[in-house]
Structure 1
Amino acid sequence: MTLYYFDVDENGTVYPDDQGTDCETFDRVKEEAIRALVEMIKDSLPDGDRHRLIIKVRDDGGALVLQVSLNFEVEAEHRSRTSSPDSHV
């Protein structure tokens, strides 16, 4: 097994993984990174109109081997107060 480190970048604040996780295959590394990102999404969204989550995975030598990310944005449409869905009728 190889030790991988899953560092988290949340809106520019980096939380380095100093413990690491043993993974047998690279597919397992990808699964673990995606699972972790999904869990983070559940805990942190929605939190404002913009949110960026990144998990950067390093191998035991410190080399970046994988990155998964999510950009969350809310964009409101600007509608006139006098318009309605039926205003075209």
Structure 2
Amino acid sequence: MPRYFFDIDDGVRDLRDNEGVILNDREHARQEVIATLAQLANDKLPNGNNHTFKASVRDETGTRIYEAALTLTSGWVP
């Protein structure tokens, strides 16, 4: 089974995955990175109103094969 690497940018840190995880296929990697973004947002968003989380998936050759971003823009209505 192939190994996939998940690089995460939470707006504060840009983290490069050097270990990766073994998954069945590209679709499982896509699902995993989306779930990771959702969890990261859930953990970090109470600390602010505006934030963008980005992630990308690399395959075993180091080629970026998928990108995703999750953005929250919020504020009080005057």
DSSP-derived class of the 2:27 partner? helix
Bigger relative contact order (CA 8 A; separation at least 6): 2
**TM-score normalised by length of structure 2:** 0.88
User: Deviation at 1:76?
Assistant: 2.6
- Give the CA deviation at 1:46: 2.3
Q: How does 1:1-89 map to 2 (within 5 A)?
A: 1-11=1-11, 13-78=13-78
Total equivalences in the alignment:
78
Give 4+ residue runs of structure 1 displaced > 6 Å after superposition: none
Deviations 1:52-72 (A, max 9, x none): 101111111111101111111
Gaps of at least 5 residues in structure 2 are none
Structure 1: any 5+ residue segments left out of the alignment?
79-89
Deviation at 1:9, TM superposition (A): 0.5
The two structures have a TM-score, normalised by structure 1, of 0.78
Q: Percent identity?
A: 26
Tell me the C-alpha RMSD between the 2 structures.
Answer: 1.3
